[in-house]
Amino acid sequence: MSDSEKLIPPHGGYRDLKSYQMAEIFLIHQADYLLDQQLRALEKAFLDEGGFTERLYRVRTEARGASRRSEAGDRKSGSESAWKPNEPKS
C-alpha cells in the first residue's frame, strides 16, 4: 500500500484529512457558541448587579452602615466599648 492509499497519512499529514478539517470547524463553532453564552451572562449580570465599582461601593456602604448600627446599639444599651486602653503600671 502506498502512502496516498493509507487511511491515516504519515506524521504531519493529518491536516489534509477532511475529517480533521471538519473537526476544526466544529470546535471553532463550539468555542464561538460558548463565548457568546458567557458574554450574554456577563452582560445580564452587569445590568442586574452593576459593574465592579458599583458593587464595591454597595458592599462598603453596607459594611459602614452595619458598623454604625452596631455602634448606635451599643450606645443605646449603655454597654461599654470592647476596646479598653492599658492601665499604667504603678
Side-chain half-sphere exposure of 88, counting CA atoms within 13 A: 1
* Domain boundary assignment for the chain: 10-72
- pLDDT one-digit tens code per residue, 58-86: 999 999 988 877 777 766 665 555 556 66
Whether residue 44 has pLDDT greater than 90: yes
The DSSP secondary structure of 1-12, one letter per residue, reads --GGGSSSPSTT
- Tell me the mean pLDDT in the region 49-59: 91
The DSSP secondary structure of 20-65, one letter per residue, reads HHHHHHHHHHHHHHHHHHHHHHHHHHHHHH--HHHHHHHHHHHHHH
Using a cut of 0.75, tell me whether the model's pTM lies above it. Answer: no
